[in-house]
Structure 1
Amino acid sequence: MILILCREKTFDVLTLDKELTSTLNVDVLSLMPNELSLEFMDQKKISLRHRGDLLEPELIIGWTSLHQKDNGNTLLSILRKNGYKVLNNDENLGLAQNKILNSSILRAYGIPNIRTFLVGNLTDAVRIASELSYPLVLKPLIGAKGEGIRKISSKEQLIDETEVIFSNNEMICMQECINKPERDIRVRVIGYKAEFAFYRFVGPDGFITNLSKGSHWEEAHLDETLRSLAEKAAIAFNAPIAGVDIVEDIDTGELKVIEVNATPAITWPYEKTVKTLVSYVETLLKEEN
């Protein structure tokens, strides 16, 4: 049996569930964290249950984020540490879902990236903004689908956008605004191998490129430079399933990684990714046996 631990039962999750079931002829359960319980039997054994029924999955696929990030990562961590086989585990999900950790990993591995700062007060924010120069980008520490990302064009706007954040003793990421075409590149990586790349063009707001925000897309040529960069980033995060976001820096002619997403879309706009992922899961199960 395969368990998909998900944030919610999205089209991606349901499609993966169906493909795993039909291709591998195995039972698949797609469940949210709150649909499960852990029982500690003794110092060396736990049991995983759904509505009282004992579950003994051969493989657990982690697909939790946003409002289920904490619950999901807690479960995945305990299960992994108690001997369950986990694909997309708590460690790589946690790294990929945090913007400043994302930046830190990229820097540590020498992967070209965009300068990012973690800031918790206005004094430092103004000082860093003067170093970066305007415009710059504000991002929440944790986020997805383009939520909370703002382009800041002046000191006055910076003060206005961060007033509530800093008054609540919260922190925010400040990022350099790269001179780039009106697009970025998403590369899908499965089993640490790049399989598909596409351009995401800016949406109605003239800045955000997320497809969920109205951006449109075109297939990009997955040449060796793009392939190598995306795979290197996925390996750095130990993320066998990854959506690597890359930007073209016009000033330097260099490709730079924006971030690595460990729960990327695996259907639209390229549904063959689901079959690639199922083939990778089949390989993992065979290795286990």
Structure 2
Amino acid sequence: MSSRKPHLGIVSLSKYARSETGVIDEGPYTNEHLVAEDVIWSGTSGRFDYGKRDLRDCADSFLIHFGLSGDPLDTHLLSLSRALEQEGYPVLNSFEFTWTCGDKYFALERARGLGIPTPQTLLAKPTGTNVPAIVSTVESELSYPLVIKPRGTMKGFGVIKVTDSDLLVSALQLYSSSGMSCLIQEFVESGGREVRCFYAGGELVGIYDRRRGSDRFIGVATPRAGQESGVSVSRMAAELPEARVLISSCEQLLAGFTWDLAAIDWFGSDHGLVLNEINTVPGIYSMPEADRVIFHERVADAIRRRSQSSRRPHDVAG
């Protein structure tokens, strides 16, 4: 490739992409959001168009920005992810990785099957009429306080700490009106601690330990250094015993997938760290500036690597 910066196309549903328009310069690469609904199969085998251009001409590599939201277009985005990959478009993170980790329940079930500690979790689809039955099941299997949150989505949207039956009913009714499935989980007494393991370019960038007052509810493990008072974020030395355990667990979670980017979040507990979720489009506000430089350099390398290894239709013709 030329010496110009590699360009990443982040493919999102319009409700996300159109709120983040324009090209962003991340140092060693640039990126912009592309509207998934505007990516059209051209009728020519193996080709997708965006506007009047071959999608391949819009970016060097693509990243599917997926978090299961209950929107009917979720299926469109996943189908597009699989189709682009099958047709040889350069995509960061495979369809299987994006699908599994974009669905928080799937990710937790995978972890549980590997013997990795997770919160006790129930999956529910409130419809209004079934709310009493869900409440009965929850109260027979979990104790208050508990946490209710979307099966997917991002940035901690819709995460609620539930302290009694009335609040549980209200939260379930809210989810019923939204049409979204939800996870109902035991509340992990974290003591105000959460940990994030950042990966980019297929490698660990760092492990970041965030601590804040134990009386504050941690809805989602997304440490944002310097953006809250009373919050400290530090890098955990990889040689520490706890870090080695974390790295081993992360390697188990990532094994078997083709992936480039990931952020794996953990809650502290009296019995050790417990998995919260896996993010395939990680925000980087939780790491020091020097580590962000490393992160961006590895993303740039991943964009180039995927672009160079992809195939165009004429590469396999005949």
User: What TM-score does the superposition give when structure 2 sets the normalisation length?
Assistant: 0.73
Q: How many residues are treated as equivalent by the alignment?
A: 277
Equivalent residue for 1:36?
39
Contact 2:10 2:34 in 1 (8 A): yes
1:75-125 superposed Cα distances (whole Å, 9 cap, x missing partner): 221111223332223322222121211211212222222221102333233
- Distance in 2, matches of 1:65 and 1:78, equals 15
Q: Using a 3 Å threshold, how does the CA distance of structure 1 residues 119 and 265 change in structure 2: closer, same or farther?
A: same
Equivalent residue for 2:119?
114
- Distance in 1, matches of 2:82 and 2:157, equals 26
Name whichever of 269-278 and 164-173 sits farther off: 164-173
Name whichever of 97-106 and 54-63 sits farther off: 54-63
Q: Using a 3 Å threshold, how does the CA distance of structure 1 residues 13 and 158 change in structure 2: closer, same or farther?
A: farther
Q: Does 1:185 align with 2:195?
A: yes
- Distance in 2, matches of 1:170 and 1:281, equals 33
1:219-245 superposed Cα distances (whole Å, 9 cap, x missing partner): 231432222222322336554311100
- Distance in 2, matches of 1:276 and 1:257, equals 25
Q: Does 1:48 align with 2:51?
A: no
1:193-216 superposed Cα distances (whole Å, 9 cap, x missing partner): 32112234459963335457x654
Equivalent residue for 2:264?
244
Equivalent residue for 1:60?
61
- Distance in 2, matches of 1:247 and 1:108, equals 19
Q: How far does residue 175 in structure 1 lie from its aligned partner after superposition? A: 0.8
Equivalent residue for 1:206?
217
Kindly report the root-mean-square deviation, in angstroms, between the aligned alpha carbons of the 2 structures. 3.4
- Distance in 2, matches of 1:169 and 1:271, equals 37
- Distance in 2, matches of 1:177 and 1:146, equals 15
Q: Does 1:79 align with 2:84?
A: yes
Equivalent residue for 2:29?
20
- Distance in 2, matches of 1:115 and 1:29, equals 38
Contact 2:61 2:303 in 1 (8 A): no
Q: Using a 3 Å threshold, how does the CA distance of structure 1 residues 163 and 36 change in structure 2: closer, same or farther?
A: closer
Equivalent residue for 2:300?
278
Equivalent residue for 1:152?
162
User: What TM-score does the superposition give when structure 1 sets the normalisation length?
Assistant: 0.79
- Distance in 2, matches of 1:126 and 1:94, equals 31
- Distance in 1, matches of 2:251 and 2:189, equals 24
Structure with greater proportional strand content: 1
Contact 2:194 2:268 in 1 (8 A): yes
Name whichever of 217-226 and 166-175 sits farther off: 166-175
Contact 1:35 1:50 in 2 (8 A): yes
- Distance in 1, matches of 2:24 and 2:178, equals 38
2:278 to 260, 276, 280: 260
- Distance in 2, matches of 1:288 and 1:228, equals 30
Q: Does 1:218 align with 2:233?
A: yes
2:251 to 231, 235, 241: 231
2:103 to 98, 107, 130: 98
Name whichever of 1-10 and 154-163 sits farther off: 1-10
Q: How far does residue 284 in structure 1 lie from its aligned partner after superposition? A: 4.5
- Distance in 1, matches of 2:157 and 2:32, equals 29
Q: How far does residue 64 in structure 1 lie from its aligned partner after superposition? A: 1.5
